[in-house]
Chains A and B, each alone.
Chain A
Amino acid sequence: SYELTQPPSVSVSPGQTARITCSGDALPKKYAYWYQQKSGQAPVLVIYEDSKRPSGIPERFSGSSSGTMATLTISGAQVEDDADYYCYSTDSSGNLWMFGGGTKLTVL
């Protein structure tokens, strides 16, 4: 079965650049999407179609994809970016959609 693999945790100091990766065999042909979930809140879309940023999402959030790995980059991470981040994509058939296991980003 298909899987999207993320590191369980990433830790940075405020102002540093945080990078969260997501690997999946179908990513060369399928887009990656990224969601931020703060404690006790519903998820929020922060990146769609690998690198596009929805309106209202700060410019410090960016996305890229190369080969079987997609990356969410937070340039100059802020304390308020402390959250869980999930990648989202589909398998090669486009019929099975899923989230990665999630990455806990700690900014302190």
Chain B
Amino acid sequence: EVQLVQSGAEVKKPGESLKISCKGSAYSFTSYWIGWVRQMPGKGLEWMGIIYPGDSDTRYSPSFQGQVTISADKSISTAYLQWSSLKASDTAMYYCASLSRGIAKEYYFDYWGQGTLVTVSS
């Protein structure tokens, strides 16, 4: 069964850096796009960006371009989401999810990680 296991909850101060991870198993990690979704407290889901671990091709939502960096290490089947300088407004649950490609060549999230809660507070 496909599994995506995310790193644990983080508590950070504004201005600090952070890198959270998402490890895939039981599927060909390099052959499927994997993405990140933000959910701020009490709010909806937001598409942040996706990466193709096979060649590290990365796409960002305009809302998140320049705010975060998505990367992957295919040797250990792990994707990452990182911040260089956190803000209080980055406080949220972050989900990773793998994408499947349908008949219309559209990509959609199918398998999800359990989420990583990031709290940024002074």
Contact = CB atoms under 8 A, between A and B. Distances in A.
Interface of A: 30-31, 33, 35, 37, 42-45, 48-49, 54, 84, 86, 88, 90, 94-102
A31 B106 contact: yes
Contact of B44 (A44, A48, A97, A99): A99
Given A35-B45, A86-B45, A99-B46, A48 B108 contact: yes
Given A98-B47, A102-B44, A42 B114 contact: yes
Interface string B92-122: 0001010010111011111011110000000
Nearest to A33: B108
A48 B114 CA distance: 21
Nearest to A29: B104
Interface string B35-57: 00100000011110000000000
B46 A94 contact: no
Nearest to A49: B102
